[in-house]
Amino acid sequence: MKKILPILLLVITIILSGCASKRMAKRGLKFEEAGMYEMAADFFYKSMVANPKNVDAAVGLKRNGQRLLDDKSLQVHKAYFDGNDKQTVYSFLDTKSYLDKVSPLGIKLYLSETTQSYFDEAKPRYLQSLYNEARILLDEEKFRESEGKFAEIKRIDPGYQGIDEHMKMAVAEPIYREGFSYLENGFNRKAYNSFSNIITNQGTYKDAKELRDEALSKALITISIGDIKNLTRSDKANLLVESSVVSALNDLGNPFVKIVDTKNTDKFVEQQVRGVSMGSDLKVGQILAAKAVLNGSVVKHNLVTGRVQKSEQRGYLKEIVIVKDKVTDEETKETRYTKVTYEIISARNEASISFQYQLTSIETGAVLVTDAINNSKTDRVSFANFSGDHKKLVPGNWESATKDSPKDRIDDNHSAISNLRNKLNAKKTIKSAQALQTEMLHEVGQRVARKIDAYNPEE
């Protein structure tokens, strides 16, 4: 059956395509009879697309398509004799486009050599005219208008007279000047983005790369991690926060933010000097200086691993049994409830933190970014545990396991049973306080990184 179905679908598709092809061929014929050969050609074309083997459509398309192509060719001739090179070129391109559209269907239409010759004669004249206009606009620094002219040339003849280089200048030059202006006026981030735009989209252009690097150097906020105080009783809480913050900042992907390790600067310089003395190519002193320092305090840090609490609950095991009457031998169903116990197990773990920090400019002492973060993560479980058949367990209560009491209660109703089922199916694994701490510290680092990422001294 599985093999037959795709074949059946294919057959249905072919039948439907054939029906559609016939319908469109009939419409094409009606338009042809009405003398509307352009519409006729269109419907014969659609008919052949639906079914390339439709002979009537092929004949109709060749007949009406040729008429349409001849009409388009006449437009080329008319434009040529009117001395309109632009119209000659575009009329020919329209004619050639239709020819290329029909050819893949196996329909061969005739394009006269005269039509082609008119295009071959008009094209270089028109392109030269366009090129001259574009160069004048470029010299007049009308870059947008110049780009439009060069783009038109490229559409007609992609390899015309080094058109790519001219287009590059028309596109890149205004962006280059914009970037240069930004750089001169201290908008280094905007300058960086402008020069990056050129390099990404146009490749090498003038000294865009060098200027981009200069803009980045001026825009770069190099951050050293200063004093992260631990005001809690939790050992190394400050180091955990520092590690999370550094990791998040390094993962930002922000070209204007960079962490520098000033704590080990002396060691780095010593290693460099030693390397040079041993003949290494290293250059002493190539270490980025910090422009800002991040200081902060961990005010609170708690991990709580809660006690696992267990409580015994009383209920019933519900069973349907068949009872046979000793006198009549008739069988009847009877519901019996057996007293059982089950457990409710619950636990709660938590991690919490309070962290305050500020990012300060080393050059001016100005506070660039500041924030106070309070975060906590909690996980808890509360589930029922029963060793018997869960489906037969019914909630309730009883006084004695061996004898009945008026205080005994069987909660055999939908609401009570549904609540118990939820408890039996509830999750039984709790996240440890350490796992919650890892999540919490990650969120703290991410929040610090987002605040610093959003800081823009140019706004």
Q: Which two tokens stand for residue 324?
A: 């046979």
Q: Write out pLDDT tens, residues 167-206.
A: 899 999 999 999 999 999 999 999 999 999 999 999 999 9
Q: How confident is the model at residue 269 (pLDDT cuts 50, 70, 90)?
A: very low
Residues 6+ apart with CB under 8 A from 416: 394, 395
The token pair at 73 is 């060719």
Assigned token pair, 101: 């559209």
Q: Is the pLDDT reported for residue 271 higher than 80?
A: no
pLDDT of residue 274: 46
Residue among 237, 242, 195 at smallest CA distance from 214:
195
Instruction: Note the pLDDT tens digit of each residue in 63-82.
Output: 999 999 999 999 999 999 99
Report field, pTM of the whole predicted structure over 0.85? no
b or e along 418-450 (b: 16 or more beta carbons within 10 Å of the residue's beta carbon)? Answer: eebeebeeeeeebbebeebbbebbebbbbbbbe
**pLDDT at residue 396 tops 80:** yes
Residue 205 DSSP one-character state: -
Q: What average pLDDT does range 420-435 have in this prediction?
A: 96
Average pLDDT over residues 351-357: 97
329, 355, 361, 377, 441 from 297: Cα distances, Å: 84, 6, 18, 20, 14
Asked if the model's pLDDT at residue 376 lies above 50, the reply is yes
- The pLDDT of residue 37 is above 90: no
Q: How many angstroms separate the CA atoms of 21 and 13, rounded? A: 12
Mean pLDDT computed over every residue of the chain = 88
- pLDDT over 90 for what percent of the chain? 71
The 10s digit of each residue's pLDDT in 328-340 is: 878 888 899 999 9
The tokens describing 360, both together, are 């300060």
Q: What is the band of 264 on the pLDDT scale with cuts at 50, 70, 90?
A: low
Angle at CA 110, nearest 5°, toward 42 and 34?
35
pLDDT tens-digit series, residues 143-175: 999 999 999 999 999 888 888 888 899 999 999
Contact present, 246 and 260 (Cβ < 8 Å):
no
Mean of the pLDDT values across residues 295-314? 95
Question: Other C-beta atoms within 10 Å of 209: how many?
Answer: 15
Which pLDDT score, from 0 to 100, does residue 56 have? 87
Name all domains of the chain by residue range, CATH numbers in brackets: 19-111 (1.25.40), 131-219 (1.25.40), 221-459 (no CATH)
